[in-house]
Amino acid sequence: MGKLNVSLLRYLTAEDFRVLTAIEMGMKNHELVPASLAASIANLQHGGVHKLLRDLCKHRLLSYERGKKFDGYRLTNMGYDYLALKTLSKRDSLNSFGNQIGVGKESNIYIVANSDGQELCLKLHRLGRTCFRNIKDKRDYHKHRKTVSWLYLSRISATKEFAYMKALYDRGFPVPKPIDFNRHCVVMELVIGKPLTHIMEVENIETLYDELMNLIVRFADSGVIHGDFNEFNIMLNGGERPVVIDFPQMVSIMHPNAEMYFNRDVSCVREFFKKRFNYESELFPKFSDIERYDNLDADVACSGFTKQMAKDLNIQLGLENDDDEDEEGTNKDTTDFNQESPIKGEQLDSEEDEKKFKYKLELESDEYLEEQAAEAIA
């Protein structure tokens, strides 16, 4: 663990990042990106790109693999990490790297610092690799969607987390202050404290219990449910006040299963207090108590976290089924690597060939990637 070797960041050249970004863009439509495509996206000489690709493989930022039809490159976790870290450090959101402080279900957590030496928390989202929940649903869904890849899933998970954290923070909820995000990485305030699961005693159990139940109600009154409100995602700061973390699974109270998620959050707290503190109360909130007075869920939907992103992530997290797959026959992949591909071998012969398969983006627009690329290369 902690094997993210960031010292390399300083030695990578603008050209290295240009090539990494080209592979990232190529991976929108291709599981493996041929060198010729990388060269064309990066706008570099074919010959020059080969050496860069080789070196990036040596540093494990890319891997070279053999595919059915042709061979090519893909970004490794570390390659993707580097692209995000480079961008965040250019923006001054992050300047130095510290210890790994957590390995969550689907994340790695590090202490970092900005250029003022202020310590912050960096969360790297890692989705789509080791998640076996609802694997069948997901396969059915992803079967005819192009490249719903770990890159995309990890990125929308971070995008959602940042959007919710910001909406909650702006409303005065006790959550870490969101600082910045890029790709699959979120930078936020470092909570000085411990997750509830590591707390054996508290001064005033009843107060804490009430505070947590009130939070669940306040969330719901604002239009949302945390969805994973347990002792791992509730931290206690120095003053024994709760700080809530971990937001990728949050749902709207308009979700068809909202009542179930709400009750599950409530019973997580009740069960924990019973087991850990031997505390039970007759008082706990019910779904029917909700008095919605805010539209946090709608705000988040306007923040760039699109409906399609929400759906793709929900399916991955088992929060939604793909029930309209038949209507969406248009999603059928036409440039799937295993199907007819407009490129034979590694060579791009004509401009036409190039046009045919370049960036037929289904999941998002070209602008997003171009922005990213511009920022990485600038």
Give the span between the Cα atoms of 252 and 319, in whole angstroms: 11
Is-catalytic flag, 228?
yes
195 binds ligand ADP (CB under 6 A): yes
Give the residue, chosen from 87, 114, 233, 335, that forms a contact with ligand ADP under the rule CB under 6 A.
233
The residue with its CB nearest to ligand ADP is 104
| Residue 89, contacted partner among Mg ion, ligand ADP, none, CB below 5-8 A by kind | none
CA dist list (Å): 172 to 166, 208, 213, 222: 10, 18, 16, 12
Of 170, 191, 162, 185, the C-alpha closest to 91 is: 185
Buried b (16+ CB within 10 A) or exposed e, 285-303: beeeebeeeeebbebbbee
| Residue 106, contacted partner among ligand ADP, Mg ion, none, CB below 5-8 A by kind | ligand ADP
Give the residue, chosen from 148, 190, 196, 343, that forms a contact with ligand ADP under the rule CB under 6 A.
190
How many of the chain's residues bind Mg ion (CB under 5 A)?
4
CA angle 81, 86, 92 (to 5 degrees): 125
User: Which segment (100-108, 177-185, 201-209, 259-267) binds Mg ion by CB under 5 A?
Assistant: 100-108
Residue 233 beta carbon to ligand ADP: minimum distance, rounded to whole angstroms:
5
| Chain residues 78-137 in contact with ligand ADP, contact rule CB under 6 A | 101-102, 104-107, 109, 121, 123
| Residue 368, contacted partner among Mg ion, ligand ADP, none, CB below 5-8 A by kind | none
Backbone angles phi, psi at 334, to 5 degrees: -110, -15
| Residue 313, contacted partner among ligand ADP, Mg ion, none, CB below 5-8 A by kind | none
Whichever of 81 and 322 has its CB closer to ligand ADP, that residue is 81
Give the residue, chosen from 81, 231, 246, 265, that forms a contact with ligand ADP under the rule CB under 6 A.
246
Give the residue, chosen from 104, 174, 193, 342, that forms a contact with Mg ion under the rule CB under 5 A.
104
Identified catalytic residue from 16, 81, 228, 322? 228
Whichever of 34 and 227 has its CB closer to Mg ion, that residue is 227
102 binds Mg ion (CB under 5 A): no
How many residues belong to the chain?
378
Burial class of 143 by CB neighbour count within 10 A (0 to 12, 13 to 18, 19+): middle
| Chain residues 170-199 in contact with Mg ion, contact rule CB under 5 A | none
Residue with tokens 């089924």: 321
Whichever of 70 and 164 has its CB closer to ligand ADP, that residue is 164
156 binds ligand ADP (CB under 6 A): no
| Residue 156, contacted partner among ligand ADP, Mg ion, none, CB below 5-8 A by kind | none
Residue with tokens 């959050």: 265
Q: Is 355 helix (H, G, I), strand (E, B) or coil?
A: helix
| Chain residues 225-254 in contact with Mg ion, contact rule CB under 5 A | 232-233, 246
Do 369 and 20 meet the contact criterion of CB atoms below 8 Å apart? Answer: no
Of 63, 24, 27, 11, the C-alpha closest to 375 is: 24
Give the span between the Cα atoms of 10 and 14, in whole angstroms: 11
Q: Is 237 helix (H, G, I), strand (E, B) or coil?
A: strand
Do 22 and 42 meet the contact criterion of CB atoms below 8 Å apart? Answer: yes
Of 130, 89, 91, the C-alpha closest to 107 is: 130
245 binds ligand ADP (CB under 6 A): yes
Provide the binding-site residues for Mg ion, judged by CB under 5 A.
Answer: 104, 232-233, 246
Catalytic positions: 228
